[in-house]
Amino acid sequence: MSRSSFSRVALVVMTAAAGLSMIGCLGKNSFFAGRPFPPSTVLQRVLVAIQNPSPLQSGELQIVDARYDIRNSENGQIPDFFVSGYSGKLPSYIQNYPEQSAGYVYGSGDGSFTQVNYATEQVGSHVGGLPSLSSSVFITEDGLHAFAANQSAQYLTVIDNLAGVAVNLNLPNVYKVAVDPSGTVALAFVQNSNYAYRVIHLQQPNGTVMPVPTFPNESNWPKTVSPVDCQPVNLPVYCVVPVLDQSGNPIVFDRPYNTIFSSDGTTGWVLNCGPECGGQESSVSFLNLGPLDIYNFPGSTYPTPYVAQTGPTEQRRVPVPGGATMALYGNGNLYVAGQQIQSDGLLEGFLSIMNLTSYQVTAYPISDGTHTKMLFGDDNTLWIGSQICQSGYRTANNLVNGCLTFFNLANNSVLVEPWYGDLTGLCAIIEWHKMYTAYGGQLHIYATTNSGITTYQTNPYTAGSELSNQYVTVHGTAFDVAYMDAPSNAAD
């Protein structure tokens, strides 16, 4: 027996014994944070959305062990684990809620939005009411409200399971939704437009129904602004309206692409894509979320805690020359990823760090491409993922041109990883010093530190280096990943 094989067998025996000890101590009922002990007995699980796993299937959800980086059981007797009952086509997005022990998987092949019960590792309820395929979806952590952009049908869909209402609001070319975690602010963006739109609810939180609005003649509503649509037509419940400034005029953004929300629920940062999306100047707009509350519209009154904050809607706009399509908030900074047009006409990727006290912006070159993923990892690290990264500045100048960037927050150093294809999934294995990715259609694992990783990997590794994925490769195209046992919902 080789030395590496002996080490692996020894590790399996030790960890299996430790697992049995944990089960015995917990009475086989629960483990971390009182969560139920999962049927797979895997305690650090990554859920993988797989497209086209076989000629007979177009989608499945597989579970791999993120502690030891294996897809089989530790004793090798069970070759792999799957979520039971999943039948969606082309799963492409996982909305992960580990605190609620649940996730929601969107299938881009059939428009399905399926709940996954992490405790039972089985399919739960299905989110009904979505019209055909959606280009962007969001569901609140309680599962009671869902929002979707259907660009082909030109609908902004609102599903309110609390009130038993599902409406399709007409909003031509809508292609993206951005919703705060609590579901109290919902924004929508229209392709090639400089305007943003918000959802308002005409029924009060205490159940009182407000008078049907007579836009644009409603009291206190700007006379020059009409809602785009209100539904149902006969007795409206939801409306979609432009985001207005304090003077009652629609705010002119610059190709708004996304919105990031602060953890305290007071601020939203609108990412103005600018030149990367055909606009003029990339920037970040600071929004006061109080006036944008779903229950807040001119003339409305409602009880605490739904009292809207005072002050202007747009508080500040800060230029970000490096581009803005994705951002992450932390350490008193806003970390913004995007692309800047260079003198040769090509786009170069940048990470712009904005100090939220001084508003000073410092930029660092990173991977090219449209940046859609950003996560903090262990060991003071930041990871940034993009798509279509091979047609930019780095490729033309013979630089490493991968779609994944490792950024060391301690010394502001940048490492662009080698290219495998588009980076479509990213999750941080908190306290285990790893990042799992769906990169180029397969699972790839990266270290956040030089030591301290429990894995079957035996070769030397350093922070930012790739670990062996030999025992976690999947059949089909890995399109998204989610850390099912993360300590908080922020890990994805």
Q: For 227-254, what is each residue's pLDDT tens digit? A: 789 898 888 889 899 998 877 788 999 9
User: Has residue 317 been placed in a domain?
Assistant: yes
Among 184, 205, 187, 315, residue whose Cα is nearest residue 256: 187
Query: How big is the CA angle at 360 (ends 374 and 332), to the nearest 5 degrees?
Result: 50
CATH number at residue 432: 2.130.10.10
Q: What is the mean pLDDT of residues 387-403?
A: 96
Q: Tens digit of pLDDT for each residue in 414-441?
A: 999 999 999 999 999 999 999 999 999 9
Query: What average pLDDT is seen over the chain?
Result: 86
Instruction: Give pLDDT, residue 297.
Output: 63
* Least-confidence region, from 65-69, 154-158, 247-251: 247-251
Range with the largest mean pLDDT of 53-57, 243-247, 365-369 = 365-369
404 close to 356: Cβ distance less than 8 angstroms = no
User: Has residue 186 been placed in a domain?
Assistant: yes
CB atoms within 10 A of CB 223: 10
Whether cis (ω within 30° of 0) applies to the bond prior to 232 is yes
Distance CA 47, CA 65 (A): 9
User: Has residue 10 been placed in a domain?
Assistant: no
User: Has residue 101 been placed in a domain?
Assistant: yes
Would residue 173 be called left, alpha or beta, if left means φ above 0 and alpha means ψ between -120 and 50 degrees? left
20 has a pLDDT exceeding 90: no
User: Has residue 17 been placed in a domain?
Assistant: no
Contacts of 436 (CB under 8 A, 6+ apart): 46, 66, 425, 426, 427, 429, 443, 444, 445, 481, 483
Distance CA 365, CA 264 (A): 30
| Domain housing 445 | 32-491
What is the count of structural domains for the chain?
1
% residues pLDDT > 70 (the chain): 83
User: Has residue 171 been placed in a domain?
Assistant: yes
Instruction: Give pLDDT, residue 295.
Output: 80
Instruction: Give pLDDT, residue 15.
Output: 41
Among 488, 479, 483, residue whose Cα is nearest residue 52: 479
Confidence of residue 12 (pLDDT cuts 50, 70, 90): very low
User: Has residue 23 been placed in a domain?
Assistant: no
Q: Is the overall model pTM greater than 0.85, yes or no? A: yes
User: Has residue 3 been placed in a domain?
Assistant: no
